[in-house]
Chain A
Amino acid sequence: MIVLKSSDGETFEIEEAVALQSQTIAHMVEDDCVENGIPLANVTGEILAKIIEYCKKHVEGGGGSEEELKIWDKEFIENIDQSTLFNLILAANYLNIKTLLDLTCQRVADMIS
C-alpha cells in the first residue's frame, strides 16, 4: 500500500498498482523514497480523490469490456465542473498519468470546438 498526502493535509492509502499509473509516483517508488508517504504539494485533496477514483477504475482493466470503460470515462469527465477539469489537467500533468491527461485534454478540445 502507498500513502499519498494532498497539499491540504488529507491522506489517502491506495494499492501500489493503482498508484503506479502515475509515472511520477512510479519513479519515486523505484527510487525508494516512499517510506513516509508521498507528499503532493501541487494537488488538493478534492482533486486527488478524483484522480484516485480514475486510477482505481483503470487498474482493474475496467473490470469489463473496453466499451464499458469508455462509457465510464465519458460519465466521469462529463460530470465535473470546469474548474475541476482544469485542476485535473494540472494534476495529471504533474503526476504524469497519460490516459487521464488525454481524456481531460480531449474534453477541453471538445468544449472549444
Chain B
Amino acid sequence: MESSPINRLPPDSLHQIFSSLPLRQIMICRSVCKFFNELLTSQCFTEIISTRPPLNLLALRPPHHHSHRHGSQNIRPYIHVYDPEQNQWYRFNLDFLPFRLPQPVASSNGLIYLWCDSVDSNESSKSLVACNPLTREFKVLPQLGSAWSRHGTVLVDSMNRVMVLTELAALYYSGMVIANQWLKFSSNLPSKPRSPVLMSSSVFALCDVGSPWRSQWKLFSCKLLNLTITHTNWICLEKHEWGDIFDIIKRPRLLRGNGDFKLLMIGGLKSTFSLNPACSTILILRLDLESLEWEEAGRMPLDMYRGFQESSKFKVFGGGDRVYFSAKRMGKLAMWDCWEGWRWIDGVPGYADGLCRGFVFDAKLTMMP
C-alpha cells in the first residue's frame, strides 16, 4: 500500500493539523494506522494537547469479581466509559497494565486509580495504581494490605493526593509530603464515615450519630492540612438554620457538586417522619460550602422514580455537573444534569443484577506525576 500524501508532511504541520481537532477525534485517529498512532502518542504532541479541556466522562466500576470465579486469563481488562455529551459508551483498554484483574475505583485529573494485585503476587497485599488509559502510562503506589482494598474507600483529588478511608483509620499519600510512603492516621469520627468526598483540600463525610434504632446523620469535614501526626481531625459542620435537613432524606449520600464549593446530598425524600418511611421521590440538595446554606438542586420526575421505587436500594454516583442513578434489574441509568435536567441512559453494559456504580473520569492527556 503506497503511503498516503499525509505521511509526507513535516511533523510540525501534522501537529498543527491534529491539534486543532477535538480530543475525541484525536483518540479515534490513533487507531487509524500505525503512522497516526506514533504521531499522536508522541511526547511533543501530547504536550501540545495536554492543556486542552478534558472530556467529561463517566467510568463504571465493575461489580465485585471474585477472582476464583473467573479463572480464565483471556478476559481482556478494560473499563467501560460513558460520554454524556455524545450519549455513547466506549471501552478503554487496560491491557497496558501488567496486572491480572485491575479494579478501577476512582479518578481525578485525568488519572484512573485501580486496585491491583501486587507485583510479587502476595495474596495479602494490593497496590493502588494510577494510570491514564489515553497515554497508557501508569504508576504503582506503595503496597498495602488487602484489607484496605476490601474495606477502604479511595479518594483522590486534582493534585494527585490519595486517601483511603475506613471506619477506624485513614491512609494518606501525596507524592510531595514524604517520598513514596503512605501516612496512617486513626480516625476520630464517632462512627463509620459514609459517602466520603474529597474536594477543595477537605474530606467530607456523613456520620451516623444516632442510635441503633434511629439514624441521625450529620456532616463532618476534615481539612487535609489538619491531619495531625496521629489522627484525622474531623469537625462537625452544622448550622442552626439547617433544622431537620438530614431527617428528610433517606439513606443520604454525598457527591461533589460543580465548582469547588458545592456539595450535593442525595437520597430518597421521605414522605413521613416514621421510622421506615416510603419515599415520594429522589431529592438532590446542594450545600454552598462558603455560605453553608442548603438549596434544592433537583428532584427526580415521578415517572422516572417509579423504576427506583420498586428496588429497595439504588446506587448514586458521579458528581460535578451530573449525577447518575442505577437500580437492580433496570438495564438503564437515570441521569441528572444540573443544566439540562433528567434523562435516561440506555446501552449500559450488562452487569449481573443491573446494579452498577461508577465515578467521574475527566479524560485528558495528563502526564504521570
Residue A113 contacts which of B9, B16, B21 (CB distance < 8 angstroms)?
B21
Is there a chain A Cβ closer than 8 Å to B25's Cβ? yes
**CB-CB under 8 A for A109 and B21, given A89-B13, A101-B16:** yes
Question: Is A113 in contact with B22, judged by CB distance below 8 angstroms?
Answer: yes
Interface size class of A (residues with CB under 8 A): 10 to 19
Nearest chain A CB to B335's CB is how many angstroms away? 27
Interface size class of B (residues with CB under 8 A): 10 to 19
Q: CA of A108 to CA of B29 in the docked complex: distance in angstroms?
A: 13
For B12, the chain A residues whose CB sits under 8 A away are 93
Question: Is B21 in contact with A101, judged by CB distance below 8 angstroms?
Answer: no
For B20, the chain A residues whose CB sits under 8 A away are 105-106, 109
Q: Which of B10-55 contact A (CB under 8 A)?
A: 10, 12-13, 16-18, 20-22, 25, 29
Is there a chain A Cβ closer than 8 Å to B8's Cβ? yes
Q: Which of A70-95 contact B (CB under 8 A)?
A: 82-83, 86, 89-90, 93
Is there a chain B Cβ closer than 8 Å to A41's Cβ? no
Select from chain A the residue with minimum beta-carbon distance to B25: A113
**CB-CB under 8 A for A112 and B5, given A90-B10, A101-B16, A105-B13:** no
Q: Which of A39-90 contact B (CB under 8 A)?
A: 82-83, 86, 89-90
Residue A109 contacts which of B5, B9, B10, B18 (CB distance < 8 angstroms)?
B18
Q: CA of A102 to CA of B13 in the docked complex: distance in angstroms?
A: 9
Is there a chain A Cβ closer than 8 Å to B6's Cβ? yes
Question: Is B21 in contact with A90, judged by CB distance below 8 angstroms?
Answer: no
6 other A-B residue contacts (CB within 8 Å) besides A90-B10, A105-B17: A82-B5, A86-B9, A105-B16, A109-B20, A112-B18, A112-B29
Q: Which residues of A contact B (CB under 8 A)?
A: 82-83, 86, 89-90, 93, 101-102, 105-106, 108-109, 112-113
